[in-house]
Amino acid sequence: MLSAAQIADVHKYLQGKPCYPTTGYHRVKRENLQSTSFEDVKSWSHYACYSFPDLIGAPHLLELANSPDILRLAAEYLGCSPTIYTLRLWWSFPRDTPSKITQRFHRDPQDEGLVLYVYLTDVEERSGPHAFVEGSHDSEIFLRMLRACGVFDDDNARKFHTATHLGDGYALPLNDLLPRVVPEAIRTFTGPAGTSFIDDVHGLHTGRLPVDRPRLMFSARYSAGRTTAYDNNGWWPQRIDWAGRIPDTAEARAANELIIDFS
């Protein structure tokens, strides 16, 4: 979805931009995180992300999130005009062990809708590919998978299914269990920079731990409107120079009203 030249533009733009040691800028205030340099954070953290103003100011990414093909697909899936409620841009770095939740199979219960992922680096099996458990966004299939793992009785399986916190403590055993129980359902995404794919955010997914080299990923999330995650994470619309980047139409303003301040 992005050309090699466009990806090079993004990397050039990010040079020298401050980073935060987490997967998303929404965590910065909540966890009282301080910015640091890319070279520093990659030496000790699992992750590095950029501020939301820096992210939305990057070339090509806002335009990508507003791709007519993506908006049309989201509308068909959601059954209504989609709203973009989150943009993220983060690095995953090689470490000795996976992070506690996001590099283990988990679901995002406070989110609703679809998420577009785009690799901004080449991603192979040993460079942190994204993986998704096909069918796990469906409630009944999801519960059957958990029961099949053998460590979830009906009560715990339903607690995980209705959890209101990412992972909620039940994500930890799934990295070992799911490949044994439902190996045919696990879809791993690899490919060159520019590779893109879409998940339902309620399905089980993970970003695997990179072994050989870091991974840079962009994501955009689409829903029918405000979500619990949007409100809880403290996102807010940004004042930016959007003219020429997205169409000046009522539809485009509605799709971006949670991330762009049009006033």
Tell me what percent of the residues of the chain surpass a pLDDT of 90.
Answer: 56
**What confidence tens digit (pLDDT) does each residue in 152-168 have?**
666 666 666 555 444 44
Average pLDDT over residues 74-78: 95
More confident residue, 212 or 100: 212
More confident residue, 78 or 167: 78
d(CA 117, CA 221): 9
Average pLDDT over residues 69-98: 95
pLDDT at position 58: 96
The pTM assigned to this predicted structure is 0.87
Question: Domain residues of the chain, as ranges?
Answer: 4-235
More confident residue, 27 or 83: 83
Confidence band of 226 (pLDDT split at 50, 70, 90):
confident
pLDDT of residue 107 exceeding 80, the answer is no
pLDDT at position 227: 75
Contact indicator for 94, 210 with CB cutoff of 8 Å? yes
Average pLDDT over residues 103-114: 78
**What confidence tens digit (pLDDT) does each residue in 119-133 have?**
999 999 999 999 998
Average pLDDT value over all residues in the chain: 86
pLDDT of residue 142 exceeding 80, the answer is no
Contact indicator for 211, 28 with CB cutoff of 8 Å? no
Ranges 39-48, 166-175, 246-255: which has the least confidence: 166-175
Tell me whether strands 186-189 and 130-133 are parallel, antiparallel or unpaired: antiparallel
C-alpha torsion sign, points 17, 52, 128, 34? positive
Tell me what percent of the residues of the chain surpass a pLDDT of 70.
Answer: 84
pLDDT of residue 146 exceeding 50, the answer is yes
**238 forms bridges with which residues in the sheet?**
260
The CATH architecture that domain 4-235 belongs to is Sandwich (2.60)
pLDDT at position 169: 45
